[in-house]
Every structure is written in C-alpha cells, then in structure tokens.
A and B are shown apart, each in its own frame.
Chain A
Amino acid sequence: MTDSSQHAVEIVGVTKTFAGTGSKRAKSQGDGTVVALDDVSLTVSPGEFVSLIGPSGCGKSTLLRLIGDLDEPTAGTVSVFGKTARQARIDQDYGIAFQSAGLLPWRSVAANIELPLALHRFGARERRDRVAELLSLVGLSDFGDKYPEQLSGGMQQRVAIARSLAEKPRLLLMDEPFGALDEMTRERMQSELVRICAETGAAVVFVTHSIPEAVFLSDRVVVMSPRPGRIREIVPVALGDDRGELLREDSRFFAGVTAVREALHGAPAASAVRGVESR
C-alpha cells in the first residue's frame, strides 16, 4: 500500500474481545467472552465520508471507539494520520459526537462549544472568534446565550457538532448523532452535515443504523455483520458534491439504498460471492 501517513484512518487486522462477567482470563467464547470485532481492516482517506452500518452487536460503535482511543484493540493496529490512536487523541486530531448531545447543562451554548478550546487553553480572543464562527456554521448565532435545556433535540445535536468541530479537526467521529431525532429534523441535519463537511474538508467516520442516511451522506458505506463483528462488504456510493433535497428522489440514491440493503441482508445469489470478495 501507499505511505500510511496519507490515510486519515488505517485499521489493520483489528480484533476486540470483551471479557464476560467471569474471570478476566477467560478466552474462549464459552466463558461469556464477547468477540465484538474479528480481524477487521479498513482505511479512510483524508476528506472521505465513511459510514459504518449493521445490526446491533456488529461492533460498529466499538470500531469507532477504537479509532477514538476510548477503547483499545485486543489485537491489530489502529492508526490515525499515521500515529497511534492514543497519540492522535492526545494531539486532538479528531472531534467526536455521540448519540446523546452530551452538552454540559450548566454551560451556555457558546460555552459548550468553547469547552475544548477552554480546556486546551486557547486565547480569549481566538476562542470568541471561533465560537461565533461555529455558531453561524450550525445556524445557531442567536442562541449562544441560551442553555442546552432551552434547545430542541436537533439544536442540541447541532451544538454538539459545532463543539466537535471547535479545534478544526481533520477527522470527525460520529456515533449515531442523529439517532434520537425525528425523521424530518434528521434529514435536515444530514443536509447540514454534508454542507459542513464540504466547508471543513474533514474526513468522517459515521456510525448509523439507517440505510438512507448512510447512502445520502457517504462516499463509502461499510456494511458489517454481527457475532463476531466483521466487515461484510464495502459499498461505494459517492453521489457527488451536489447533494440537495432532490437527491433523495434520485434513482442513483435508490440504487445505493438497494445495494446497501442487499449487502446488509445478503442478496439471494450474490451474497456468497460478495462474502468471499471482501476478504
């Protein structure tokens, strides 16, 4: 392959097992050990939008957590911009957003977005400018002084996304950020995310269990299967830069949805062949 530092994320042969309730030395599956990921390899290029999709238990969130160094792999390596995941976390190479917005209720919207900048001791002026910039990016310029509880779920999630962008990361990790939103808010947020990604040029690893969401947003959709968590297939979608609302009615969009669905559920004849291909 090419020089690994050119990849935003490079995952090679990663396995992750969680010990069951029994002794920590338990290795075999019979002792309640859960194999969350089994020999998974994946690369994400700079600026690329990659979705991880699959049924619950397929390890998609675990994979995201390994990239973010919130967990450590049992075997294999995870590198982010050519560094270890740990070093990338320390260097703040990524921004992260979870399913729950996770805003601090005692900080105003502006102060929540400012949090990473305050923690990493940015200057007061730089912080103020950056917060104003981010507020307008997510369309919340009038809400900087509000508190999270005064905002709707969709607005809270936009604040969380603004916060994840605060330090201009080249990589965004998102774990079902729109999972708790209603369908209409969700589609609007997806369009905004497409716009934000185009403006910032960041690579995104996006966990979701919605097929249309994955297809609409992604350059590539990584379809995973559970027990043990494996990559079943990688579906390239890349519906182009002009992803307006009309795209949701476009035949290419539906073709993408069908392709991902077939990969997910295993199309009658093709599944066996595809399974071999992805190895």
Chain B
Amino acid sequence: MYGLEAINANNGWAISVVGVTIVFSGLVTLSLVISQLYRVLALWENPSKIKTLFKAKQPKNQSEEFQEKEIIDQAVFTESQKEGAKQFSLLIRTMENHFSLPRLLHLAQISDLKNSHSNLNNLLKTNIIIPDGSGFFTWEKETFDKAIL
C-alpha cells in the first residue's frame, strides 16, 4: 500500500496531528512556567512582596505623594555620593534604557568607581533607579536631576 491510502490506513494524519500538538503543548507549557520562574523566585526571596500583591492598589493621595517627594528632597547626598551618582549616570548612558542591575554593578566595578555598592544602593533607595517589573531597571532622569544637580 502506498500514498494517501497508506497514510489513511495507518492513521497517519491523526498520529501526526497528535504528535505535533503534544510537542507544542509540552514546550509551550515549559516556556510559560520558566518565563514566570524568576518572578516566583523573587517572591520567595522577599516574602513581604506577596502581601503587596494581594493588596488592592489604591490611588495615591496627596499626602503620600507629598511624603514621597519629601523623601527625595530629604535625601541628602554628600559631595562624594553626588560624584558617585554622576559617574553612574555616565555609565548608564552606555547601556540600554532597560538595564540589568548586576551588569551595571559589574561595569561600575571594572570602571573602578569608588564605593560602587553603596552608591548604587543610594540610587535605588532614592528611586533614581527603579525596577521596570520585568527583571530590569530604568534610570529616572528627573529624580536624578532634582536630587543631585
């Protein structure tokens, strides 16, 4: 038996469709799971974030906004910290808009920036560098200008 007759007789079409479907479902499921893996790990490492996930998002009222602004305004940078922040701003210009924090730190270290860890920490605390929600970070130029320049 040859040709289409052989394929039909051996249930070839059904086997092929089922086979392709199973391979696709397996890899699609796997890719979905691993695409969320780093988020789950982030929650695992910082359980307090779980609570915030279930809290309904409330619009910020004026006083909260004011407090936030105050935190930035009150963040007093020493001269050397300001210098460090400026050096970071130069480094960031060489990177993508959404950059990886370990890579930034690595670049700072190989560029011999002084106190790179603590300067980076200051930038994070003062929301000059903020997470974009997908594992990368962005540089808030306005906040930087207000706090440093």
> Do A and B come from the same complex?
no
